[in-house]
Amino acid sequence: MNRNPKARERRNEAVTADLTAVVVAVTGGEPRVLTLDGTAGELERLPSGPFELRHRTLEQGLRSWVESQTRQTLGYVEQLYTFGDRDRHVPTAATGAARVLSIGYVALVREPRQSAAEGVAWRDWYRYFPWEDWRHGRPPVLDAIEGWLRAWVEGASGATERRQRAERVAVNFAIDGGTWNEDRVLERYELAYGAGLVAEAYADGAVVGQGPPRGVGGEPMAGDHRRILATAIARLRGKIKYRPVVFELLPPTFTLLQLQQTVEALAGLGLHKPNFRRLVEQQGLVEDTGAMTLGTGGRPARLVRFRREALLERPAPGLRVRATRAAGPRGS
């Protein structure tokens, strides 16, 4: 079949596009991501499925897969990145589709369904990136990571290679004079991958040998799903600084502490309470509702709501966060 040269040529270009979703919620001040259990000892994974003819648009296809696999409907959705450079060939000559692209998305939802479907779970995203949670100070796992990375730098072949590795480690992991930048989640994951810190590197055959002790590299995921999750976290951490996306994760009315804890959960940083409140008020991002909370274990708080007019007034309506040493009881 298909002796027509034009058709052969077209077939030569055909690919499959996988749509993969990072669905995020913040509950009880913890950042969570919607995952599917791996069947029979397999790895955890994100909801995903191929882009098909029946889907009107890419985003529609994504929503459809997430709903059918998790019964979760999506609100805010944003495309992240298209991965295709892993030489992941699907070995089926008969199908006409020889390669797989992976299009990642991040979605924000207000409240996880009480009981997720069988095999579906909301999991703390720091399970996959234990080194990214600085809310209570520098995470202890970074000691082991630092040691591993130093060995990796030394293991370079040649002085140039060693210098390049040392610079990457310093810039991304706040070692030897670098400062921690919470936005560089993807760069850190890719560095960890290249250095053999994460299990996926061995599964893909990109690195051979013995990995680090259990717990150091974080929980692995199927395929390139953890890379997509890293992209999502990085995107969100960057975006809250200039767009009011946090409010997609909160109920219509909320307290300033809820807002602060949501930002802290995403950014992985502890913030200074009085200054955070002033920042929010002064930027005009929220307005009073008149209502108050009751019985939350302290003084009742004002309930506020997002103020849409802020979009007009501010060129970059967001929450520029910076780590603080005086973060109250949470800071180290």
Partner DNA sequence: TCAAAAGTGTTATCCTTACACCCATGT
Partner DNA sequence: ACATGGGTGTAAGGATAACACTTTTGA
Q: Which residues contact its own copies (rule: CB under 8 A)?
A: 1-2, 4, 6-7, 10-17, 50-53, 56-60, 79, 81-82, 84-85, 87, 92, 94-99, 101, 103, 167, 170-171, 177-179, 181, 308, 311-313, 315-316
Residue 322 touches DNA, criterion: CB under 7 A? yes
Q: Which candidate, 45, 25, 43, places its Cα nearest to that of 35? A: 45
* From 278, 291, 311, 313, residue interacting with DNA (rule: CB under 7 A): 278
Minimum Å gap between C-beta 306 and DNA is 16
- Inter-axis angle of helices 225-239 and 256-267, to 10 degrees? 130
**Burial degree of 207 (CB within 10 A; 0-12, 13-18, 19+):** middle
Cβ neighbours of residue 156 closer than 8 Å, sequence gap 6 or more:
162, 164, 165
Binding residues among 99-158 for DNA as defined by CB under 7 A: none
Number of chain positions touching DNA (CB under 7 A): 25
Residue 298 interaction partner, one of DNA, its own copies, none, beta carbon < 5-8 Å per kind: DNA
* From 53, 294, 312, 315, residue interacting with DNA (rule: CB under 7 A): 294
Minimum Å gap between C-beta 215 and its own copies is 28
* From 17, 98, 141, 301, residue interacting with DNA (rule: CB under 7 A): 301
| Other C-beta atoms lying within 10 Å of the C-beta of residue 49 | 17
- Of residues 178 and 220, the one with the C-beta less far from its own copies: 178
Calpha distance 212→210 (Å, rounded): 7
Q: Do residues 26 and 262 make contact, with C-beta atoms less than 8 angstroms apart?
A: yes
Calpha distance 287→204 (Å, rounded): 50
Residue 160 interaction partner, one of DNA, its own copies, none, beta carbon < 5-8 Å per kind: none
Please give the structure tokens belonging to residue 220. 């692995």
Residues forming contacts to DNA in the complex (CB under 7 A) are 255-257, 272-275, 277-279, 282, 294-302, 320, 322, 324-326
